[in-house]
Chain A
Amino acid sequence: MGKDLAEKFPEARAVFAEADQALGFPVSELCFAGSEDVLKLTANTQPAILTVSVAAYRVLESRGVRPDYVAGHSLGEFSALVAAGALDFADAVRLVRRRGEYMQSAVPDGTGAMAAILGLAPAQVTELCRQAAEGEVVSPANLNSPEQTVISGHAGAVKRAVELASASGAKRAVMLPVSAPFHSELMAPAQRDLEVDLRKISFHPMRVPMVTNADAEIVTSGDEARESLIRQVVLPVRWEASMRTLIDHGVSMFVETGPGRVLSGLLRQIDRSVHVFNVEDEKSMNAALERLARAQSETAET
């Protein structure tokens, strides 16, 4: 991922070089040619995804694209804060590398699990988790869309919740091949470690506001942003609510930067009236720039 961007755009290339230098190892090679096994380790995944996302953003920025708001899904909140000018990219990439390590080691292998529940209302999934807990931890981890909720917790409790969800008419309820129970209270040890790191970093004033994962509310200062990054480790990503907050603030065009177009898909489930496109390679970049330019000239005309 991101190889095409680095080859075609100098602004993107610079981001990969900066990441390699900040981390002291060639994360760019991991992005361009890393095997799936290596990339699957969250301590590798996190800096890799952040780097590709910021690389795509920097190209957009160099072409004069400026967002009015930023938001990021989980790890993406770091990318969002880089885009908003609150975090230096070098700091961000080092932080997420450690964030990945902390999250990986917070829970012994095999104790935690995650699952996706599709086609049940988020409130219903929350209720199922309560029923399935039986003294263990299981709770929503990503409230992604009206159709899609990811849950997280102790492996046994997550399995029980999946069974309950299937029995309650979920379109699909599947265990996910994920190594740890992200965004659950089992991540408390990781949260403590990350908080220490985050308090050492200086956050700059934000150029544009961000909608937070933890509360789906708009924050405008670096300090608030830092709190959000700390809190989200053990709280669900309130993605649907975040998107609705943005739409309520008048946002009608969304650009997803970074590998994949999962968030674009979620937005379409949330609200089909907004414009969504993603940028992950040269082709999608050119298409996005063209559409943004067209939208701009249309606004100028009216």
Chain B
Amino acid sequence: MITVAVDAMGGDHAPRPEIEGAISAAREYDIRVLLVGQPAELKRELARHSHRGLAIEVVPASEVITMHDSPSQAFRKKKDSSAHVATKLVRTGQADAVFSAGNTGAVMAVARFGLGTLPSVDRPALAAPFPTSKGGTAVLLDVGANVDSKPAHLVQFAVMGEIYYRVIFGTRKPKVALLSIGQEEMKGNELTREAHSLLKRAALQFVGNVEGRDIFSGSVDVIVCDGFIGNIALKISEGVAQHIGLLLKEALQSTLRSQVGYVLSRQAYHSFRKKIDYSEYGGAPLLGVRGVAVIGHGSSNALAVKNGVRVAAELVRGKVNEKIEQELSALPIAVGA
């Protein structure tokens, strides 16, 4: 049975959604869950739910990293935080994966330095799934594990993203693209131009450059970019989604007629909400670390936690790290002549 350590104190509304989500995951997917956090609080919350017969245990951690903590400070000073302890469970082999909806920067630092990178990986990358207009999912990486990346790093991101995509979405040959400012090979900056020429030679189905709007079009599956750009792209997308949601709500409530319309079209509205709801996607894996780490949105609800735990378990089951290592250690080969 796969064991997932859940940072039960990390999210905005912790530990309620963490515990509810963990229970559902344990029940639906036959996963063993270690809930990490302050035992009294966790046990009180656990008592509100039925979880008989499920493989759920509480592991104590005295400290909590808040959303306001500086990531580097929290990483260094709060050594007994739920994020640290949950990560340590993976490092010591007591868990296969860790899920946290906590402070993204801090969790990333804890996972990256607590677990270490895979031998063949230069830099880990945070991979964010996006819903596409075709009803599928596109994965953008890196969305913030690094600020400056070199062309060779982008190639590693592409390889890792492709493997993640295959494991989670079952596509045999995902289409991989490079985020730039135009389809032509020569468009972009030095980084994207060099990365383009490397990606062309990589053992991937590389389809060339795409622009920002293509992230959502569904024409490609894996989109690679520098972490600085990726993080901005992610935050803008979230902002736009929120903004449009608000505008829509306002418009729907503004007149009696539209309110009637809203009631009639509620079904469609909900299905729309579900489609753009991040909680369906279960968080972003930090690829390239030893062990599996999935980072959820701070505002994760129980469904998001459940899906995050599921994705973490699927990455373990799909041997994603073994595949990454296999792919990246394969080349280059030193042939003495």
- Give me the interface of A with B, judged by CB distance under 8 Å: 42, 45-46, 73-76, 100, 103, 114, 116, 118-119, 141-142, 144, 147-148, 150, 171-172, 176, 178, 180, 182-183, 213, 237, 239, 260-263, 265-266, 268-269, 272
Chain B residues positioned under 8 Å from A182 (CB to CB): 335-337
Q: How far is the CB of B159 from chain A (nearest CB, A)?
A: 14
**Is the CB–CB distance between B329 and A119 below 8 Å?**
yes
- Interface range on chain B (Cβ under 8 Å from partner): 10 to 19
A268 and B119 alpha carbons, distance in the complex (Å): 7
B334 contacts the other chain (CB 8 A): yes
B53 part of interface (Cβ distance < 8 Å): no
Give min CB distance, A179 to chain B, whole Å.
Answer: 9
Q: How far is the CB of A116 from chain B (nearest CB, A)?
A: 5
Across the interface, which residues of A come within 8 angstroms of B330, CB to CB?
Answer: 118, 171-172
Q: Tell me whether A260 and B332 are in contact (CB under 8 A).
A: yes
A269 contacts B329, C-beta separation under 8 Å: yes
Interface contact B334-A262, CB-CB below 8 Å: yes
Is the CB–CB distance between B336 and A141 below 8 Å? Answer: yes
Known: A119-B326, A269-B119, A272-B119. A262 touches B337 (CB 8 A): no
14 chain-A/chain-B pairs, Cβ below 8 angstroms: A42-B337, A73-B334, A74-B336, A118-B330, A119-B326, A144-B334, A150-B333, A150-B335, A176-B335, A178-B335, A182-B335, A262-B333, A268-B119, A268-B120
A residues within 8 A CB of B334? Answer: 73, 142, 144, 148, 150, 239, 262-263, 266
Q: Within the assembled complex, what's the spacing in Å between the Cα atoms of A237 and B330? A: 19
**Is the Cβ of A103 less than 8 Å from the Cβ of B329?**
no
Contacts A260-B332, A262-B332 given; indicate if A46 touches B337 (C-beta within 8 A). Answer: yes
Distance in angstroms from A21 CB to nearest chain B CB is 24
Residues of A contacting B333 in the complex (Cβ-Cβ under 8 angstroms) = 116, 118, 144, 148, 150, 176, 262
In the complex, what residues of B have CB within 8 A of residue A150's CB? 333-336
Residues of B within 8 A of A148 (CB): 329, 333-334
A172 to B333, CA, bound (A): 12
- Closest residue of chain B to A265 (Cβ to Cβ) is B332
- Residue among B119, B326, B330, B333 having the largest count of chain A Cβ atoms under 10 Å: B333
Q: How far is the CA of A144 from the CA of B334 in the complex (A)?
A: 7
Q: Mark B130-155, 1 if CB is under 8 A from A, else 0.
A: 00000000000000000000000000
Measured CB to CB, the residues of B under 8 A from A are 119-120, 326, 329-330, 332-337
Known: A268-B119, A269-B119, A272-B119. A237 touches B329 (CB 8 A): no
Which of the residues B119, B326, B332, B336 comes within 8 Å of A75, measured between beta carbons?
B336
Whole-angstrom distance between the Cβ of A53 and the nearest chain B Cβ? 14
Given A114-B335, A150-B334, A178-B337, 13 more A-B residue pairs with CB atoms under 8 Å apart are A75-B337, A118-B330, A119-B329, A148-B333, A150-B335, A171-B329, A172-B326, A172-B330, A176-B333, A178-B335, A183-B336, A239-B334, A262-B333
Residues on the A chain within 8 Å of B120, using CB = 268-269
A118 CA to B332 CA in the complex, in Å?
11
| Residue of B330, B332, B335, B337 most packed against chain A (CB within 10 A) | B337
**8 pairs of A and B residues whose beta carbons are closest in the complex:** A74-B336, A262-B332, A116-B333, A237-B336, A262-B334, A142-B336, A182-B337, A171-B326
Q: Give Cα A148 to B330, complex, Å.
A: 8
* Chain A residue contacts of B332, Cβ below 8 A: 260-262, 265
Q: Which of B119, B326, B329, B337 sits near A45, CB closer than 8 Å?
A: B337
What's the Cα separation between A265 and B119 when bound, in Å? Answer: 10
- The docked-state distance in angstroms from the alpha carbon of A150 to that of B331 is 12
Contacts of A75 in B (CB 8 A): 336-337
A103 and B337: CB pair below 8 A? Answer: yes
- Which residues of A lie under 8 Å from residue B119 when comparing CB positions? 268-269, 272
State the CA gap A46–B119 with chains docked (Å). 31
Chain A CB within 10 Å — which of B119, B330, B335 has the most?
A: B335
Q: Report Cα–Cα, A171/B119, bound state, in Å.
A: 15
Determine the residue in chain A with the shortest Cβ distance to B325. Answer: A171
Q: How far is the CA of A260 from the CA of B335 in the complex (A)?
A: 12
Contacts of A261 in B (CB 8 A): 332
